[in-house]
Amino acid sequence: MERKKITVIGLGFVGLPLSLSFAMRGYDVIGLDVNQSLIEDLNNGVTYHLEQYNGKPIQDILKDALTVGTFKATTDYNEAFAESYAYIVTVGLPVKEGMPVYDYFESAMMDLGKGLKQGDVVIIRSTVVPSTTEEIAKPILEKQSGLIAGKDFYLAYASERIAEGKAFEEFENMPTVVAGITPESAEKAKEVLRLISKAEIHIASDMKIVEAAKVFENVSRDVNIAMANQFAQFCQALGIDTMETFRMANTHKRVNLLIPGPGVGGYCLPNAYYYLRPKKEELNIDLSLLQMARMINDQVPHRIVDMLEYMLEKQGKTLQGAEVSVLGLAMKDYSNDDRISPAHDVCKILVDRGANVKAFDPATHSHVSYAVDSLEQSVDHADALIVLAKQMEFDNLDLNWIKEKMEQQPILIDTKHLFDKATVKELGFDYFAI
C-alpha cells in the first residue's frame, strides 16, 4: 500500500490513541478536531489521557510522534485533503433526552465530503445507531463530494472495541469486525486496519450487522451490570456479604457475574440502549429488558444517597448540611474520563439535597463546583466518606489518618471495595459496601 497520510477525525479517548497507534509505527497521521484548545495542547505534547503502551505513557508517545513528524493535529480539513488517502471517523453521537444527536457527526461528514478524492477510503468507527453509515454518512458524503460510494471512493464501518486504559494494546490485539458498502470497500478498510492490528479482522456481509453488533456488545454489559446491582441489593437486604456471594457464584465455570458499583458511566455503555431506541420506535420492537436495565443502573446513585441519609439519621444527623467527602469522579477505576460518570450523579444529588460535597479525583481535572484539589481538603471535618472510583493515589490510603481528619462517628460508604471490611470496622467507621 502506498504510504500516504491517514487522517483521524475526532481526537478524544478513541481518536488520539488510534492516531498514535499509526504514528508510532511510522505512518504519517493528521488528527482533526473542532476543539482549537485541544489541538494546541496536542501540538505542544500535552494530553491528560492515562493510556500507555508497553509501559510507555501516551504523553511520551505523543511527544515522540511530534518530534519525528508522524503526527500533527489541526482543525483544518484542507490540510488533510491534499495528502491523505484514508479517513477514520471517531466522532460520537451524544445522547440528549434519551435520543442520539447527529449534529457533530453530520457536520464532520459534510466537512469531509467537501474534499474527498477518487479512491479515498472512509472508515466510520464511531458507535452509532444501526444503519447510520448507509442512511446518514453515505448520502452526505456523496452530496458534498459529487462522488459515488463504492464506485468512486470506498466506504466502510469498523466497530471500535477498546477499553479506556488499554487502548493501544486493544487496537493491536482485539479482533476487529468490518463491513463495506461493497466487498472492495471492506477489503480496503481491512488493509488500513491491518497496519496497526495483529488480531483477526472479520469481514461481515452488511455494515448494519457490524453497527448493531457493536451496540449489542455495549448493551450486554449494561444489562449484566444491572443484574449485578440488583443481586447486590438482595445481598444487602439478606444481610450477607455481596462480594463473597459473587465470588462463590463465579466458581461455576459457566457463570461470570460482573462487579456491582455506583452505576454505569462513560460515553459507551450508558448511551448504548439509546442507539437502539430510534430503530426500536421506527420498527416497533420490544426492548423492554434493555430499557429496564438502563433504569436500574440510573437508580443506583439515588440508592447510595438514600443509604447515606439513613446512616446519618441513625446518628441523629441530617443529610442537609452534612459534610460529605467523595473519592473518585472518573466514570470507572483508574481513568481520567468523567463523562456521564455516576460519581457526578451522586455528587449532584447530594448537593441538591443540601449536603456540602468535597470531591477529590487526581486524574479527572473536573472543573465542577464541588471538586477540591487534595485528599486532605476532601476529608477534613467530613461526616462521611464515599468511595466512587479507584485511582492509583487511593490504593494505599492511610485510614487512620483519614479517620483523624473526619468528624466523630465517621461514615464510610465503599462502592468500590477499596478497603478491607474488618479493618474499617475495627477503626470505628460506620461502614457500608455495595
Could you report the per-residue pLDDT of 295-307, keeping only the tens digit for each? Answer: 999 999 999 999 9
Confidence of residue 434 (pLDDT cuts 50, 70, 90): confident
Choose among 162, 156, 148, 110: nearest CA to 132: 156
Residue 418: partners with Cβ closer than 8 Å, 6 or more residues away: 327, 387, 390, 394, 397
What pLDDT, on the 0 to 100 scale, is given for residue 366?
Answer: 83
| Amino acid (1-letter code) at residue 233 | Q
Residue 260: is its pLDDT beyond 60?
A: yes
Q: What's the domain count of the chain? A: 2
Same domain, 216 and 157: no
Q: Provide Rg for the chain, Cα atoms.
A: 24
What pLDDT, on the 0 to 100 scale, is given for residue 234?
Answer: 96
The catalytic residue among 5, 138, 188, 214 is 214
What pLDDT, on the 0 to 100 scale, is given for residue 3?
Answer: 52
Angstrom CA distances, 60 to 15, 53, 108, 195, 303, stand at 17, 10, 29, 21, 42
Bridge partners of residue 358, in order along the sequence:
325
Choose among 267, 226, 256, 258: nearest CA to 104: 267
Place of cell 472512509: 122
Same domain, 232 and 371: yes
- H-helix segments, 206-262: 207-238, 242-249
What pLDDT, on the 0 to 100 scale, is given for residue 1?
Answer: 41
Confidence of residue 267 (pLDDT cuts 50, 70, 90): confident
The catalytic residue among 138, 190, 235, 268 is 268
Angstrom CA distances, 261 to 225, 258, 414, 431, stand at 8, 10, 9, 16
Give the Cα separation of 276 and 294 in Å (integer).
12
Give the Cα separation of 27 and 431 in Å (integer).
53
Residue 186: partners with Cβ closer than 8 Å, 6 or more residues away: 156, 178, 179, 180, 203, 204
Same domain, 198 and 214: no
What pLDDT, on the 0 to 100 scale, is given for residue 297?
Answer: 96
What pLDDT, on the 0 to 100 scale, is given for residue 393?
Answer: 95
Same domain, 161 and 284: no
| Amino acid (1-letter code) at residue 172 | E
Same domain, 160 and 304: no
| Percent of the chain with pLDDT strictly greater than 70 | 99
Q: Given 174, 205, 236, which residue is the final one in a domain?
A: 205
Q: Given 205, 221, 238, which residue is the final one in a domain?
A: 205
Same domain, 127 and 13: yes
Could you report the per-residue pLDDT of 316-354, keeping only the tens digit for each? Answer: 999 999 999 999 999 999 999 999 999 999 999 999 999
Q: Which three cell numbers stand for residue 347?
A: 455528587
In the residue annotation, 347 being an active-site residue is answered as no
Residue 203: partners with Cβ closer than 8 Å, 6 or more residues away: 177, 178, 179, 180, 183, 186, 187, 190
Angstrom CA distances, 247 to 151, 239, 242, 258, 395, stand at 55, 16, 9, 10, 21
Give the Cα separation of 386 and 264 in Å (integer).
17
**What is the span of the domain harbouring residue 325?**
206-433
Contact call for residues 24 and 78 (beta carbons, < 8 A): no
In the residue annotation, 235 being an active-site residue is answered as no
**SS3 label, residue 412:** strand
Same domain, 217 and 117: no
Give the Cα separation of 89 and 341 in Å (integer).
24
Same domain, 282 and 406: yes
Residue 2: is its pLDDT beyond 50?
A: no
Bridge partners of residue 121, in order along the sequence:
86, 154
DSSP track, 53-87: ETTEEHHHHHHHHHHHTSEEEES-THHHHTTEEEE
Same domain, 50 and 159: yes
Kindly report the average pLDDT of the chain as a whole number: 95
Q: How far apart are the first and last CA of the chain?
A: 53
Same domain, 115 and 195: yes
Give the Cα separation of 236 and 310 in Å (integer).
14
Residue 425: is its pLDDT beyond 80?
A: yes
Same domain, 40 and 175: yes
What CATH number did the domain enclosing 103 receive? 3.40.50.720
Q: What is the mean pLDDT of residues 382-411?
A: 96
Contact call for residues 429 and 403 (beta carbons, < 8 A): yes
H/E stretch holding 384: strand 384-387
Q: What are all long-range contacts of 418-424, with beta carbons under 8 Å and residues at least 24 apart? A: 418/327, 418/387, 418/390, 418/394, 419/387, 421/241, 423/399, 424/399
Same domain, 242 and 281: yes
Predicted TM-score (pTM) of the model is: 0.91
Q: Given 150, 177, 205, which residue is the final one in a domain?
A: 205
Angstrom CA distances, 270 to 24, 60, 158, 227, 263, stand at 32, 32, 21, 15, 9
Could you report the per-residue pLDDT of 123-176, keeping only the tens digit for each? Answer: 999 999 999 999 999 999 999 999 999 999 999 999 999 998 999 999 999 999
Residue 268: is its pLDDT beyond 90?
A: no
Q: Which three cell numbers stand for residue 91?
A: 466522532
